[in-house]
Chains A and B, each alone.
Chain A
């Protein structure tokens, strides 16, 4: 990758402990409803369905009984140097806001899907169908996230609306909205994970747990060699899992 990462004084990031994830899908289900993603009857067609958060099953590729599995939840990696931004012809996606969250402006998106092709993490989803909820279920839509029409690209926003709410809450309490307490702003997936596999916070704030977690010798990022400088870190004690995070030659 060419280019360089923009630096932000606040850099929201996620740390996912793969050794604690049981692949239950609670994070995916939480994301769906938090972000007004419609129920999809054909959801087993992964080329057409939308999952801002998707849990992948990893294996060490060995035969029974030496086989091992792990689950890897994958939100938008919020790259420091996002490949999707440079290819967008209409600046519908950008990385210019404090916090380092890659934005997605739906009314601006023309649905060309260059960003979908550019994203090495497959986090971007094109809306192939009209968003339709069963009759009455639209009453359960979240007021915090807009409903997107068919024909635009969407992706995980680190539940950006929750950051706004957290800042409002801090202001109301007379606290500094630019220096939120650890845990004051977390995404829906992080909040609801029963295993505590997901952690969230400001990577640059020493008072936030994730600040230390990313220094773990077991921490790694996906496709780090691409230079995308992502804000999502993974932790695993298992070497084979860490190695799957990037493309390695057999000799490495």
Chain B
């Protein structure tokens, strides 16, 4: 049968009309719109009653108190606790991550045992049996490293290791380790505490006080309070350092100086103060005066640092004229500064009469230990981890047979990475109590996952930088997301298994004992209506409420105490004479000046996934980190904007892209830290380079402390 043209057109027309009356195309169109517009896999938001509970951040070194929002009992987000003296409602990008990091892809989900190049999950019982066996065999040569600068878990760890036969208990190097060494060399006692709230003029020597130095959130709250919006500032902040970093960006003045010259700058200011008649009864004053007058005159300082005499003279005048000046010294990236610059900075505080005065520096007493045989914080801070590991790597120090790593990532977070890795390789048995799969955990034989802040009881005692003694609790508000345990509990269980007597059965008991000790201490109070800096300024301290201190701490309040230990802080002039020299600075083509920011996390957290968005493309572009040089440096090195370069130092190399940025001293390369992870997850791994690995460790003359605040690098 043939199909003529007329019949064909009729068929098409009939088909078209028929189609109009059938629901099939409309239904298909509707389905297509549903399939393409409604994605069933888009998460639904949780529903339920909203409430708020309080805890303390353990991920963020600034130690903020947190208000946790919960929905139907599940934690949703973290904000600053307005009632906590270290946050007063503020929060860092890192502390904000406390809730969602519970579900980080990098979390270690169960105990893991090394198996070939990877790991295999094992049960807690298996892990404890193996560990008891291995540690039993390693008795007498067990070392530990802690990255938690404030927790009582350090007492359990150090007591346990001590009773097994310690080969060394170390803290990860930080501002606290430098300050502890400095205070010790000055003949003082206690932890240096800085009263920002009552200070009216703050000279910051290197320390990134609004990012990586001490209680940075609290520091910024104090700064903010003294600079009311829209009004004339009621305080003066001056920053001295190699770059105009986040802290310097809001200071009234930036004085460019290399991290290696901070001590020279401090003694240069001291010269002006002494000339103006400053004097002191502190030990070593006369020798100090001779040291300063003998080598730190305006021209000496200019020759060494390039700072014009009138700049330091003006600064000295400002400090001398201030009612409550304060000098804060630290590393621009939170570690590696020598003790001598700290001493030089503290000498200014002594000369200005700022020791144990409101708005000055307090010698804060350490809270009493409760675990028998535990090291005090001061004793733990006394160790020099980079020096120890360097000694192990070079065969000068016997390698411990076993190493316990708590909340620390030395394989990533220490300088001279190649040397440190070599040392870690020499230690035959390594265990990490890590919450996330970090670089050190990846090297260990056993990983015992530590529960996170919201899953465990923990505490925070007087973080470095706080101007007052403080104690606050972390309280669990949910069951562990994965098969994790609190490291303190694991250690106590293990101790029992190995018949090591530590007095306590679980970590909660330790914390309760600690709180009971505080309740008996005189002068302490719960900061509610009266804050500790108000007490420092003269307001009467409220009595410790007769009620239950544990209950108040669990509700998010902090126990605080204003006061000081007897500290006969001296000038340590002999140390300064050896360690600080105002000679002509050697010509260096590129000095590495790293900077760190809380938004890129810590070595143990990696980059919190939500914080990656906050990293600008002038810091991380695709997978490459950018280093900052001013145009004069770039010209001298023959580099152009956007050029890809290789930085090398301390036996390591790192890639980078050049970013021209004029707020960097000439001759300095400023590089962001927190990148270049080889572990963790897609939010951290393979993003940029770890420039800390380029920094060589050198021994500071006069103090013996390992330093790496300013290292020369080669750029090609």
Contact = CB atoms under 8 A, between A and B. Distances in A.
Nearest to B618: A57
A29 B615 contact: no
B74 A139 contact: yes
A24 B47 contact: no
A175 to B, nearest CB: 20
A39 B91 CA distance: 19
B644 interface: no
Interface residues of B, number: 82
Nearest to B608: A29
A62 B682 CA distance: 38
B611 A64 contact: no
B244 interface: yes
Given A55-B614, A65-B256, A70 B249 contact: yes
A64 B663 contact: yes
A89 interface: no
A98 to B, nearest CB: 24
Given A41-B612, A68-B663, A130 B39 contact: yes
Contacts of A192: 79-80, 89-91, 96
Contacts of B244: 67-69
B614 A44 contact: no
A29 B665 contact: no
B611 A25 contact: yes
Contacts of B69: 142
B568 interface: no
B48 interface: yes
A191 B244 CA distance: 27
A2 interface: no
B599 A139 contact: no
B250 interface: yes
A237 B256 CA distance: 22
Interface stretch (B20-28, B99-107, B111-119): B99-107
A63 B622 contact: no
B631 interface: yes
Given A68-B663, A147-B45, A149-B42, A44 B105 contact: no
A196 interface: yes
A149 B37 contact: yes
Interface in A110-135: 130-131, 133-135
B97 interface: yes
A28 B93 contact: yes
Interface stretch (B218-226, B282-290, B546-554, B703-711): B218-226
A49 interface: yes
Contacts of B620: 44
A128 B513 CA distance: 54
A59 to B, nearest CB: 7
Nearest to B229: A17
A141 interface: yes
A79 B599 CA distance: 30
B612 A140 contact: no
Interface stretch (A211-219, A224-232, A243-251): A211-219
Given A30-B91, A43-B613, A195-B250, A67 B662 contact: yes
Question: Does more than half of chain A's interface fall in helix, strand or loop, or is it mixed?
Answer: loop
A194 B664 CA distance: 25
Contacts of A67: 244, 630, 662-663
Contacts of A135: 103, 105
Contact of A29 (B43, B599, B631): B599
A24 B613 contact: no
B103 A26 contact: no
A195 B210 contact: yes
B33 to A, nearest CB: 12
Contacts of B662: 59, 62-64, 67
B614 A28 contact: yes
Interface in B596-625: 597-599, 608-618, 620-622
A194 B92 contact: yes
B246 A40 contact: no
Contact of A235 (B42, B45, B229, B666): B229
A195 B657 CA distance: 31
A146 interface: yes
A29 B96 contact: yes
Contacts, number: 235
Interface residues of A, number: 75
Contacts of A216: 230
A44 B210 contact: no
A141 B70 CA distance: 10
A209 B230 CA distance: 10
Interface string B43-59: 11111101000000000
B77 interface: yes
B45 A24 contact: no
Interface in A200-221: 209, 212-213, 216, 218-219
Contacts of A242: none
A141 to B, nearest CB: 5
Contacts of B44: 147
B146 interface: no
B247 interface: yes
B71 interface: yes
Contacts of A185: none
A49 to B, nearest CB: 6
Contacts of A145: 45
B609 A33 contact: no
A188 B80 CA distance: 11
Contacts of A143: 45-48, 50, 71, 76
Contacts of B79: 30, 188, 191-192
B96 A30 contact: yes
Nearest to B47: A143
A33 B87 CA distance: 19
A43 B613 CA distance: 5
A63 B90 contact: no
Contacts of A29: 93, 96-97, 599, 608, 610-611, 613-614
A57 B216 CA distance: 21
Interface in A165-202: 188, 191-197, 199
B313 to A, nearest CB: 18
B43 A39 contact: no
Nearest to B598: A24
Contact of A33 (B46, B100, B230, B666): B100
A144 B48 CA distance: 11
B700 to A, nearest CB: 28
B35 interface: no
B481 interface: yes
6 contacts: A26-B96, A29-B611, A143-B50, A147-B42, A149-B38, A218-B230
Interface of B: 37-39, 41-48, 50, 69, 71, 74-77, 79-80, 87, 89-93, 96-97, 99-100, 102-105, 210-211, 216-217, 220-221, 223-225, 227, 229-230, 244, 246-247, 249-250, 256, 481, 597-599, 608-618, 620-622, 630-632, 662-666, 681-683, 687
Given A29-B611, A45-B622, 9 more contacts: A22-B210, A59-B662, A64-B662, A65-B256, A139-B74, A145-B45, A195-B223, A196-B225, A213-B230
Q: Which 5 A-B pairs have the closest CB atoms?
A: A194-B90, A25-B614, A196-B224, A67-B662, A39-B609
